[in-house]
Amino acid sequence: MNILFRGGRVFTAKGDFAESVLVRDGVIAAVGAERELSAQAPGHETVDLDGGLLTPGFTDAHMHPVQAGLERARCDLSERYGLDEYLDAVRAYADAHPDRAWIDGGGWDMSAFPGGLPRREQLDFLDRPAYLIQRDHHAAWVNGRALERAGIGKDTPDPADGRIERDPDGTPTGVLHEGAMDLVGLLTPRPTAADLDAALMDAQAHLFTLGITGWQDAIVGSYAGSDDQLPAYLSAARSGRLRARVVGALWWDRTRGLDQIDDLLSRRASAEGLDRFAATSIKIMQDGITENFTAATLEPYCRCGGTGLSYVDPAKLKEYVAELDRLGFQVHVHAIGERAVREALDGFAGTDPANRHHIAHLQIIEPSDVPRFAELGVTANLQPLWATHHLQMDELTLPFLGEPRSSWQYPFADLLRHGTRFCAGSDWPVSNADPLQGMHVAVNRTEPGGSVHAGYPTAQTPFLPEQRVDLATAMTAYTAGSAWINRSPAGQIEPGRPADLVVLDRDPFALPDKDIWTTRVRMTFVDGEAVYEKA
């Protein structure tokens, strides 16, 4: 299809703007002045930007779309907030699905509960076991029937990589953290191949409405009760139903070592030659999260002590990363606490920057480690939406981090000053997949309007405002930066690149910063073909 985009501005993700873009046969043919391109486009279809902005398609560098699609089809709590709303949703789901042996799903927010912890008794009205994954997928809320089904009681030991939340007498309360989730999660009904396929297709359709034309799936494998998504991706890519450009980060089983390398090589090879999917990245989860004190810290948490968990021994991590690097894999590390970030950076020392290794989340970085990203050629994979004064931050994080550690969080501007390369993502379904919401937070360090925390008293107080970045930097991270991480040919608007493009309903660069979040996607194109158009 041949298209002339005109009537607005074009963000090229190359450090400049343009007036117009000409697309021929799914490829960007020319970028320049509207008058010149119009003369080259007799008979072309015209898309009037109507004062809006044309951008490259967004690429999300860290998300879990298949899991999100599954949760959207189950008991989905992600659009609700508070115990009463959660229980209303659970009751409605149970009533609507009397034939289902389990009530499973997820999306609950820790901040909705005292101390961040729901209880089994709140779900004990159900006549079936319940397994509901926390919004960030680091815990599960279960009822008494589920605990009984799994044989979990006072004497059940905690797994090495997780914790069973307990009352003072040892009785399980109904929350399973990290690796303990599998004690129940693996007993839930397994999704069929058709379920996984439908979840992927539903997720892709939703992401197109947000302008996302590519992503890196941050866990392709079996983890926390979820099933391996690789067959779904392979099937969709081979049939042509996968239109987005996707890289799968193959899950590194932290209970194993180098013995799993052959399996990973085989899994990578299974996707070779596919146009839309590659399994070229490896995901290593080095720690947990701050809210349940499993994020790995250098000094103990305030009030509760402990320094979190390093899921992979740091010496072994360096050995594993070196071998993966030698084999040409990209390594994608989850690191939340400052010790985990340091361990990941130490692991990347001496690796080949051409493999495009990256660390995701980066909630806390000890200041002396900030320059090491650029020095080692490690990309910072940002999830900007979390860098605000939301309820979970103020009540479940700041009191336990203390100073100066609280001020080391999400240091985007410091990383940028040292020349760090950025990519960006959402961690969907952990948080909203909308890149424009993430850009709003990166620029403002406040909650976007309409978010679940937008009415919280400090939501519009900037969180560490000295760490703001400008909109061009944030948008480049979601376009050129994340496309680069994925080795995608898209991500910039220049001749010869695929016409993966997004039409925004307004130009966010012309808005006050506080209104960036109001921008919406009007149209999304992949290879010059509209895959979404707002009704």
**pLDDT digits 0-9 by tens, 396-436:** 999 999 999 999 999 999 999 999 999 999 999 989 999 99
Question: pLDDT at position 177, please?
Answer: 92
Q: pLDDT at residue 135 above 90?
A: no
Among 81, 141, 82, CA closest to 106: 141
- 415 neighbors 422 (Cβ within 8 angstroms): yes
Question: pLDDT at position 454, please?
Answer: 82
Question: pLDDT at position 499, please?
Answer: 98
How far is residue 439 from each of residues 88, 385, 409, measured CA to CA in Å?
Answer: 33, 8, 17
Among 162, 105, 160, 114, CA closest to 139: 162
pLDDT in tens, 199-217: 999 999 999 999 999 999 9
Question: pLDDT at position 213, please?
Answer: 98
Q: pLDDT at residue 79 above 90?
A: no
What whole-number distance in Å separates Cα of residue 412 and Cα of residue 414?
6
- Collapsing DSSP to helix, strand or coil, 41 comes out as coil
Q: What type of residue is 253?
A: D
Measure the CA angle with vertex 205, ends 203 and 207; round to 5°: 65
Q: In what order do the strands lie in the sheet with 17-18?
A: 17-18, 9-11, 53-56, 501-504, 521-526, 529-533
Burial of 79 (0-12, 13-18, 19+ CB in 10 A): exposed
Among 225, 226, 234, 223, CA closest to 197: 234
Measure the CA angle with vertex 365, ends 362 and 370; round to 5°: 105
Q: Which residues pair with 332 in a beta bridge?
A: 283, 358
Upstream peptide bond of 353 is cis (omega within 30 degrees of 0): no
pLDDT in tens, 298-350: 999 998 889 999 999 999 999 999 999 999 999 999 999 999 999 999 999 99
Q: Which residues, at least 6 apart from 138, have a Cβ–Cβ distance to it below 8 Å?
A: 177, 178, 288, 289, 291, 292, 294
Question: pLDDT at position 43, please?
Answer: 82
pLDDT average, residue stretch 86-110: 93
Question: pLDDT at position 111, please?
Answer: 84
Question: pLDDT at position 138, please?
Answer: 82
pLDDT in tens, 17-67: 999 999 999 999 999 999 999 998 888 899 999 999 999 999 999 999 999
Count the Cβ atoms, other than its own, within 10 Å of residue 394: 19
Question: pLDDT at position 281, please?
Answer: 98
Among 281, 377, 278, CA closest to 62: 281
Mean pLDDT is lowest, of 189-193, 376-380, 489-493, 500-504, for 189-193
Share of the chain above pLDDT 70, in %: 100
Tokens linked to 430:
């952990």
Q: pLDDT class for 130, splitting at 50, 70, 90?
A: very high
Q: In what order do the strands lie in the sheet with 27-32?
A: 27-32, 20-24, 3-6, 45-48
Tokens 């200041």 -> residue: 367
Angle, helix 230-239 to helix 261-270, in steps of 10 degrees: 20
How far is residue 132 from each of residues 104, 114, 143, 429, 455, measured CA to CA in Å?
Answer: 5, 18, 9, 13, 26
